[in-house]
Homo-oligomer: A and B are copies of this chain.
Amino acid sequence: MGRLAREVAIIGVGMTKFGKHPDKTIKDLAREATWKAIRDANVDAKDIGVIYCGNAVDGLLSGQEDIRGQVVMREAGLAGKPIINTPNACASSSTAFREAWLAIASGMYDIALAVGFEKLYVDDTAKTTRALATCTDVAVEGNMGVFFPGMYAMEAKRYMLETGCTKEQIAKVCVKNHKNGCLNPHAQIQQEVTVEEVLNSKMIADPITLYMCSPIGDGGAAAILCAENIARRYRSDPILIAGSGMASGVFLDIDIDKEKKNSTELAAREAFEMSGIGPGDVNVAEVHDAFSPAEFTFFEEIGFCNKGEAPRFIEEGETEIGGSIPINTSGGLESKGHPVGATGLGMISEIVWQLRGEAGKRQVKSPKVGLVHNGGGIIGGDNAVMCVHILKR
């Protein structure tokens, strides 16, 4: 790992409400998020030097297999610029964000737009499920029918066996995130649930019940990145990108190859080392809770606590909004929603709002450092992409 040529800050974010938007095309969703971010940043759109676009599966859903970014950005009035597409499963827009960060860090561009968009509610939900299953190796897992709820369930079973974590404790993660979602006007599901309701909802893949699963959804999210040395021209409160980590590697710790590195550990270590910040310095975080039990394992892999200790944090309320390390204040993927290509930038938007003190009813008290953890894709038990970003005010 080298040393960055220059620092990069976030000067604008924006997102649509995540949810079911039968009246909006994917172009509408991308345009809305893009212009919200542009206005939030107080930039002139003509000063955006480069655009990175994250979308995961629209090729199979709408048939727009290629140049998806160019198609939606033309509709948004931003044709003419260099546009790069960065599909990377559920981390597509964290990848767009990271590439925008590198492009500015290189000295090539001063201002970049990163935008993610996805429309998963189509005529046929089975079609969406099949499309999402291509976030595996389709010639291997895809054809064997091994799919995300099953993979996350295997990981949860192992975790429960090794640590003594209970189903009730997992359900409490789900309860917390739904409670947070009720405070977020952008959240897809704004409804509280009880531990009993979570455990009694339909069994999907033991121990994962329906309420523990993130829903499919439509949405867009965007950020404007800027060279740190000129960021104050646009806003008095730029948010610094203090660290960025990206890795692929082991996701399921059931893997028999103990030499292989865990992808979250790799990405988090890279981001922490770059930033000079440790897990104990983080005041608020968004963690990839595609399914409730994953919040425990990812929380530990990031380094917030030792292995097996995560359930104690939920029991003692430490990951709630008033706790010592609030996790998924937005409602998380479970409650805010998971339109996969928009998810990463939706998480980044939440942390930017928290650091600015603009998170409304779900505001954490004066956070200085926030973390975003967003991953995607599984191949042969390995995680395809894991991104960790550390943001600082």
Contact = CB atoms under 8 A, between A and B. Distances in A.
Contacts of A6: 5
* Most chain B beta-carbon contacts within 10 A, residue among A56, A83, A109, A248: A248
A134 B385 contact: no
A84 B85 CA distance: 10
A67 B88 contact: yes
A3 interface: yes
Interface string A72-84: 0010000111111
A83 B139 contact: no
A2 B227 CA distance: 11
A385 to B, nearest CB: 7
B84 A95 contact: yes
Interface residues of A, number: 65
A79 B135 contact: no
Contacts of A59: 59-60, 65, 134
Interface stretch (A169-177, A216-224, A285-293, A375-383): A375-383
A360 interface: no
B70 A138 contact: no
A138 B64 contact: yes
B71 A65 contact: no
Contact of A64 (B66, B71, B134): B134
A108 B1 contact: yes
A107 B74 contact: no
A336 to B, nearest CB: 22
Interface string A162-192: 0000000000000000000000000000000
A49 interface: yes
Nearest to A8: B106
Interface stretch (A28-36, A97-105, A344-352): A97-105
A163 to B, nearest CB: 26
A372 interface: no
A114 interface: no
5 contacts: A1-B49, A2-B108, A60-B65, A65-B131, A79-B249
The 3 closest A-B pairs by CB, nearest first: A5-B5, A65-B134, A82-B246
Given A60-B60, A66-B377, A84-B99, 13 more contacts: A2-B110, A3-B107, A4-B108, A5-B107, A66-B134, A66-B135, A67-B87, A70-B377, A80-B248, A80-B382, A99-B102, A103-B106, A105-B106
